[in-house]
Structure 1
Amino acid sequence: MTTGISPSVDASDDRPPTFPETPSVTHGVPSPAPQNTVPSHLERLADRARDYVEAASSANTRKAYVSDWKHFSSWCRRQGLELLPPSPQVVGLYITACASGAAIPGGKPNAVSTIERRLSAITWNYTQRGTPLDRSDRHIATVLAGIRNTHASPPRQKEAVLPEDLIAMLETLARGSLRGLRDRAMLLLGFAGGLRRSEIVGLDVGRDQTQDGRGWAEILDKGLVVTLRGKTGWREVEIGRGSSDATCPVVALETWLKLARIGHGPMFRRVTGRGKDVGPDRLNDREVARLVKRTALAAGVRGDLTEGEREEKFAGHSLRAGLASSAEVDERHVQKQLGHASAEMTRRYQRRRDRFRVNLTKAAGL
């Protein structure tokens, strides 16, 4: 069945992409590529292989990909376009609609980062169906380059939680409650370790204790060694003890684990029963963002802004940015702590570094 759209050309073709003004074809919903029948004695291996496929990406990524594919499918259905076989021209039209706010009725233009994620989701879904999409085709690549040049803007960074801010935020938490002790440990551990919100809630008390754990922490005399599973493999983060018990992440964690009676499994869990009981379930990573936002507002951080502006300023990344901006050490140590592949990425997190410490103008003799 044809789509009524001109066939794709080689990516080396330097002609501008061409699209029909009124494409008109029927819509069809694809199904996953047929699976070969697996002999009964290999069924357990097949199940394990599917587990590995699922583990190849995070739960948040898979959720986003499902949502983006539904978004693309709905747009195709409204336009009378067919999903299979994959058409670079159709995808080029789709990302154009996303950029112009025409992807859904009454919609708003998507950010460039959102469009790039949607394109990744579409590519991934087509690949899983055994019908790869050529992203390098000019109908996609050239249009995407134009969208970037036209609509790309500097990233809007979250406000850094600085040490004085963090101390004020800790004071808003109830010291005598389990929830307050848990939140205190999460804030201090997230800040001192420069951890992502998913890394904070993904911690287990020990190694290999849960299937969904992203790491564990070992408490030593001088501090914590946190072992994390990241995007590029495993890494270790050392978190030293603080100068006082009131601001020490190690003490805060020890206190939470002891009073919550947690010796195995997820480290940070829901507090139930009017704050008197600790459940078995791991916290969702969104709870970290809500915690940072709530305590920053309660502590009056950035009181010069309106409440609406302040709500937009703070999130889980505020803790990582706070450490990067506050630690007066060699930049490479901060880079290692945050798990960045390049110093340039670390500098994006440093909100108050001296940008002119190295003055090339004077170094050149002017």
Structure 2
Amino acid sequence: MPSETEKSTPAPTEELKEAHKNERAEVESDGITIPSHVAGSGTLDRLIDTARDYALAAASDNTLKAYAKDWAHFARWCRLKGTAPLPPSPEIIGLYLADLASGSGPSPSQSASRSLSVTTIDRRLSGLAWNYAQRGFALDRTNRHIATVLSGIKRKHGRPPVQKEAILAKDILAMVSTLPHDLRGLRDRAILLLGYAGGLRRSEIVSLDVHKDDTPDSGGWIEIMKKGALLTLNAKTGWREVEIGRGSKDQTCPVHALEQWLHFAKISFGPVFVGTSRDGKRALDTRLNDKHVARLIKRTVLDAGIRSELPEKERLALFSGHSLRAGLASSAEVDERYVQKQLGHASAEMTRRYQRRRDRFRVNLTKAAGL
């Protein structure tokens, strides 16, 4: 029986599947080889396979899929314009970026497409650079045909980043209160409380295992102690530890919620958060997809009546997986350094971007300067 995640996650299109397969093939074949003047051997061939495995691990599957989508879009654009994507041409790429920013449409005969944001265009360019590198080419992003056009796009179309709304303490309490007390409800309650208290990314939540090295795709593991839980995460910025203390009462304690889920789901090995059977009475073996966390947040936001003055579509657009991280940063009344450490940020400035509520004038430099 398929898990609830597998049933509700739409399959990618055949075009994107093929593009993703091609991206992996580039790394597996052309990306890692031995020089042509060196004779092959069994030992070298095995090392090539090992090196290719490491090369594939340099980017996550989600990143590879995004890069595949970027390349597929650019290749199609080139075909429609009567040119080729290879070898890289700074002039053509500059025109491509201008087309993305202006939303002029894929061809004169077709209706205009939506112009893309500066952030998306910048990411598309990064995807192209990665794709060219896998094909043995270097894309010079400093070339004037690319750099100057991109600089102009940022100057003309740049906007402040659109931030997701923070889920505050009263919100998370209202959200978990909407969950049932069956096995699925225990799991989702643990996901929300642990993600909130730890300031975790949704990918970090679902990648947790019970112990170190339980599964090959583990992104970290947990250790439950008397005073709380210690999470060791292989996060976006590298390995880090996250301490989650016990709450003031069992109903809202993330560690207690985690213990309850593991106990009743009979999970003692492998992924912490897995799917459940259709009747919600039995835990399956399949690790949850990170999209489950996003869907869970949006569903419980609606059920809890958060921002009910807005239409449903607008309410759903306000919240995402990052709302948990922003909620912790905005609600924790502690020294900023502790929040920075919990979120795994390299700088205090990045942490401040997550703080939707803070006293911006707590340090008054005007008065400190004598005015």
TM over 0.5: yes
Q: Which amino acid counterpart does residue 62 of structure 1 have in structure 2?
A: L
**Separation in 1, partners of 2:82, 2:41:** 41
Structure 2 residue corresponding to 1:96, chosen from 85, 95, 98: 98
Give the secondary-structure state (helix, strand or coil) at the position aligned to 1:206. Answer: coil
**Separation in 2, partners of 1:272, 1:101:** 45
**Separation in 2, partners of 1:168, 1:64:** 35
Moved more, 265-274 or 186-195: 265-274
- Is the alpha carbon distance of 1:188 and 1:76 closer, same or farther for their aligned partners in structure 2, counting shifts above 3 Å? same
Flag structure 1 segments of 5+ consecutive residues without an equivalent: 1-28
- For 2:155, the equivalent position in structure 1 comes to 149
Contact 2:178 2:304 in 1 (8 A): yes
Q: Which amino acid counterpart does residue 74 of structure 2 have in structure 1?
A: F
**Separation in 2, partners of 1:272, 1:100:** 48
Indicate whether 1:275 and 2:318 are aligned.
no
Moved more, 230-239 or 119-128: 230-239
- For 1:9, the equivalent position in structure 2 comes to none
- For 2:328, the equivalent position in structure 1 comes to 323
Structure 2 residue corresponding to 1:62, chosen from 64, 68, 73: 64
**Separation in 2, partners of 1:315, 1:291:** 9
Q: Which amino acid counterpart does residue 129 of structure 1 have in structure 2?
A: R
- For 1:51, the equivalent position in structure 2 comes to 53
**Separation in 2, partners of 1:125, 1:163:** 43
Kindly report the root-mean-square deviation, in angstroms, between the aligned alpha carbons of the 2 structures. Answer: 1.7
Give the secondary-structure state (helix, strand or coil) at the position aligned to 1:279. Answer: strand
Q: Which amino acid counterpart does residue 281 of structure 2 have in structure 1?
A: K
Structure 1 residue corresponding to 2:183, chosen from 178, 182, 191: 178
Q: Aligned pairs, how many?
A: 337
Q: How does 1:1-366 map to 2 (within 5 A)?
A: 32=26, 33=30, 35-36=33-34, 38-102=40-104, 104=106, 105=110, 106-175=112-181, 177-366=182-371
**Separation in 2, partners of 1:39, 1:181:** 54
Q: CA deviation at 1:173?
A: 0.1
Contact 1:94 1:103 in 2 (8 A): no
Contact 2:190 2:257 in 1 (8 A): yes
**Separation in 2, partners of 1:320, 1:50:** 34
Give the secondary-structure state (helix, strand or coil) at the position aligned to 2:349. Answer: helix
Q: Which amino acid counterpart does residue 145 of structure 1 have in structure 2?
A: S
Contact 1:206 1:216 in 2 (8 A): yes
Per-residue CA deviations over 1:98-133 (Å, capped at 9, x if unaligned) read 111135343100111111111011111111111111
Contact 1:75 1:103 in 2 (8 A): no
Contact 1:69 1:125 in 2 (8 A): yes
Moved more, 150-159 or 332-341: 150-159
TM-score of the pair, normalised by structure 2: 0.88
Give the secondary-structure state (helix, strand or coil) at the position aligned to 2:243. Answer: strand
Q: CA deviation at 1:168?
A: 0.5
Contact 2:237 2:344 in 1 (8 A): no
- Is the alpha carbon distance of 1:323 and 1:287 closer, same or farther for their aligned partners in structure 2, counting shifts above 3 Å? same
**Separation in 2, partners of 1:173, 1:42:** 55
Q: Percent identity?
A: 62
Give the secondary-structure state (helix, strand or coil) at the position aligned to 2:222. Answer: strand
TM-score of the pair, normalised by structure 1: 0.89
Contact 1:89 1:139 in 2 (8 A): yes
- For 2:3, the equivalent position in structure 1 comes to none
Contact 1:270 1:283 in 2 (8 A): yes
Flag structure 2 segments of 5+ consecutive residues without an equivalent: 1-21
Q: CA deviation at 1:52?
A: 0.8
Q: CA deviation at 1:44?
A: 2.7
